Amino acid sequence: MDTSRIPGFYNMTVQERLEVLSRLHGLQDEDIENLIIDSSLDVGTADKMIENVIGTFELPLGLGLNFLINGKEYVIPMAIEEASVVASASHIAKIVRNAGGFTTESTERVMIGQIQVVGCSDFILAKEEILQNKSVLLEAANNAYPSIVSRGGGAEDLDVRILNEGSDSVYSQMLIIHLYINTCDAMGANMINTMVESIAPLVEEITKGKVYLRILSNYADRCLAKARCVISPELLQTGDFSGEEVRDGVIHAYQFAASDPYRAVTHNKGIMNGIDPIVIATGNDWRAVEAGAHAYAARNGQYSSMTNWFKDENGNLVGELELPMSVGTVGGATRVHPLAKFSLDLLGVKSAKELAEVIVAVGLAQNLGALKALATDGIQKGHMALHSRSVAIAAGATGEMIDIIAQELIKEKQIRVGKAKELVEQYKK
């Protein structure tokens, strides 16, 4: 494109935007069809969801199978572009169901709204004044969003911290108020932001300071979900590897991630491979979940493994995953995107709490899938075989050619686009 400056783009219809784009970028008819036709999310709805819409962007939606969580069967909708994630989650869920399934628990769904106050002449006094006026502030916050109170939620508590006390810089000294809000089945960003914005004038009056930021924190450490599984070694036996060898390999792999941030980032990326696809499929905000999860992994001062794997007194492999999980079954895009609505129905979750628990169970399964593969055959054997079809498509294979080329790549142990292009040329001759 010669320019990214297109005045008035936001005011155009989708059709007009496509015409402009065609002029600037030379869109083919096929591009236009891909952008606006055959999409579950109709382009008119998409145009109301975000700005400057020119179409919709689709991902494969697969189903994670075999999940038994707290004795309940779940089919997991997973929207993801990466091969082998869904297969791996389903494989591990089958092993865990034979071990009795996952068990989960979660905290109340309490989210945090932050208010930053600067310029107080006496920060200690301002802090005391806020605490003394706690009930007045909570009532004012709840008055700004009464519907959440009638649902059994709302602002429940607050606390105050002074940051950089005694600093010479007027910029760094501040009072931070945390408003703790039970958001029920919503992720809650908008209701939290409404509440903190609404009480800002009152906070200024009480502290005699000036309020700057008023926004939720994505570090949702009072909105936690936890999953656990206990697996006897015989269920882990794989090829020539005994169950005990697999169990010990998984624990060694975990210890590596627990001790080394370079490994922990990749280990945790593998966990998010399981988590993001459900968060996306259910129309939730995956950036919020990602941000909270990684911050929680560093809560002890060093970035570390999100999961914990160990051997219990009976020799079983035990896995645990606890994460902030600020997802909703209402609000945001959850009831706007038709496939998000479908995914929530398919999951059969009754509350945001239940959804959060299912999500961490899938994250735990995904982690075990990766660690088990790494501790035995290595990740490439299974992954590349499944990836071979994407490689064939990237090389130009279509229709029945895709599987034929993919099989040939696996047979020749060369799952590369260059090789696939050669095979596509040969096939076409």
- If you search the block for the tokens 């958001």, which residue do you land on? 183
Q: How far is the CB of 105 from ligand NDP (least distance, A)?
A: 20
3-state SS, 16-85, equals HHHHHHHHHHCCCHHHHHHHHCCCCCCHHHHHHHCCCCCCCCCCCEEEEEEEEECCEEEEEEEECCCCCH
Pick the piece of the chain touching ligand NDP (CB under 6 A) from 32-40, 134-142, 184-192, 385-393: 184-192
Report in angstroms the alpha-carbon separations of 8 from 3, 17, 27, 51, 210: 14, 10, 20, 12, 37
Q: Is 115 in the site for ligand NDP (CB under 6 A)?
A: no
H-helix segments, 55-212: 85-98, 123-132, 134-143, 146-150, 189-207
324: its two tokens: 């902030």
Which of 18/41 has CB closer to ligand NDP? Answer: 41
Which of 187/373 has CB closer to ligand NDP? Answer: 187
Q: Is 15 in the site for ligand NDP (CB under 6 A)?
A: no
Residue type, 51: E
Measured distance CA(361)–CA(310) in Å, rounded:
17
Q: Which of 19, 31, 47, 82 is catalytic?
A: 82
Q: Is 185 in the site for ligand NDP (CB under 6 A)?
A: yes
Which of 270/332 has CB closer to ligand NDP? Answer: 332
Q: Is 191 in the site for ligand NDP (CB under 6 A)?
A: yes
* Residue of 68, 111, 141, 187 that binds ligand NDP (CB under 6 A): 187
Report in angstroms the alpha-carbon separations of 417 from 44, 236, 393, 409: 37, 34, 9, 9
Which of 184/224 has CB closer to ligand NDP? Answer: 184
Q: Which of 91, 226, 383, 387 is catalytic?
A: 383
Residues 233/317, Cβ–Cβ less than 8 Å:
yes
89: its two tokens: 């989650």
What residues numbered 201-220 form the site for ligand NDP, per CB under 6 A?
216, 218
Which of 194/316 has CB closer to ligand NDP? Answer: 194
Cβ neighbours around 340 below 10 Å, total: 23
Residue 283 three-state SS: coil
What is the four-CA torsion angle of 370, 376, 377, 382, rounded to 10 degrees? Answer: -30
What residues numbered 278-317 form the site for ligand NDP, per CB under 6 A?
285, 288
Q: How far is the CB of 290 from ligand NDP (least distance, A)?
A: 11
What residues numbered 311-350 form the site for ligand NDP, per CB under 6 A?
328, 330-333
Q: Which of 72, 210, 269, 350 is catalytic?
A: 269
Pick the piece of the chain touching ligand NDP (CB under 6 A) from 10-18, 99-107, 182-190, 415-423: 182-190
Q: Is 184 in the site for ligand NDP (CB under 6 A)?
A: yes
Measured distance CA(114)–CA(102) in Å, rounded:
35
Q: Is 408 in the site for ligand NDP (CB under 6 A)?
A: no
Query: Is 248 assigned a catalytic role?
Result: no
3-state helix, strand, coil in the chain (%, to 5): 50, 20, 30
* Residue of 13, 147, 164, 172 that binds ligand NDP (CB under 6 A): 147
Query: Is 269 assigned a catalytic role?
Result: yes
Q: Is 273 in the site for ligand NDP (CB under 6 A)?
A: no
* Residue of 69, 80, 179, 186 that binds ligand NDP (CB under 6 A): 186
Query: Is 285 assigned a catalytic role?
Result: yes
Q: Which residues of 281-308 are buried (b: 16+ CB within 10 A; e: fewer)?
A: bbbbbbebbbbbbbbbbeeeeebbbbbe
Pick the piece of the chain touching ligand NDP (CB under 6 A) from 63-71, 188-196, 267-275, 358-366: 188-196
What is the four-CA torsion angle of 37, 42, 48, 50, rounded to 10 degrees? Answer: -60
* Residue of 155, 189, 236, 347 that binds ligand NDP (CB under 6 A): 189
Backbone angles phi, psi at 318, to 5 degrees: -115, 130
* Residue of 151, 178, 228, 263 that binds ligand NDP (CB under 6 A): 151
Measured distance CA(76)–CA(61) in Å, rounded:
10
Query: Is 82 assigned a catalytic role?
Result: yes
Q: How far is the CB of 195 from ligand NDP (least distance, A)?
A: 10
Residues 365/330, Cβ–Cβ less than 8 Å:
no
Which of 216/264 has CB closer to ligand NDP? Answer: 216
Which of 116/218 has CB closer to ligand NDP? Answer: 218
Q: By rule CB under 6 A, what count of residues binds ligand NDP?
A: 20
Residues near ligand NDP, by CB under 6 A: 147-148, 151, 184-191, 216, 218, 285, 288, 328, 330-333
Active-site residues: which are they?
A: 82, 269, 285, 383
